Amino acid sequence: MAEYFDRLEARDPAEREAEQFARFPAFLRRALAVAPGLRRWLDGVNPDAVTNREALARLPVLRKAELMEMQAKEPPSCNSRLRFWMEMKQIRASTCITRVRQPIVYSV
C-alpha cells in the first residue's frame, strides 16, 4: 500500500468498518446530548442499536432544505457546536462568533 496512507486507512476494510461501527453509538450519544435539533430529528432512535450498515440505513435522512428550515426556526448555538467538537477531540475550534449569525470556522 502507498506510504501516504496511515495504518488506520491501510488496514483491512472489514476491520476498519467494524471499528467505526463499534465507535459510532458513543459518537451518536454525544451528538444527541449537545444538539437538541438532532435529538428531535432522531427521536426514538437508540444510538446503541446503530452498529452496522443496515441500522445506519434505517436512520431518517435529513435533507439540506429541512436542516435549513430547522436552523432558521432554532439557530444552533455556538456553544453547543463548540462543546460537541471539543468533546470529540477531532478538531480544534479557532473562531466562534456568537453575536453575529455566521458559521463557525474550524481548523484541523
Query: Does residue 5 lie in a domain region?
Result: no
pLDDT in tens, 3-31: 667 787 788 889 989 999 999 999 999 88
Same domain as 81, residue 61: no
Same domain as 42, residue 83: no
Same domain as 81, residue 68: no
pLDDT confidence of residue 99: 42
Same domain as 20, residue 70: yes
Same domain as 23, residue 61: yes
pLDDT confidence of residue 95: 42
Range of the domain at 20: 12-74
What's the whole-number mean pLDDT along residues 60-81? 82
SS (H, E, C) 21-81: HHHHHHHHHHHHHHCHHHHHHCCCCCHHHCCCHHHHHCCCCCCHHHHHHHHHHCCCCHHHH
pLDDT in tens, 53-69: 999 999 999 999 998 89
CA torsion through residues 44, 47, 53, 54, sign:
negative
Provide the residue type at 26 as one letter.
Answer: A
Q: Which of 58-62, 76-80, 81-85, 89-93 has the highest mean pLDDT?
A: 58-62
Same domain as 25, residue 59: yes
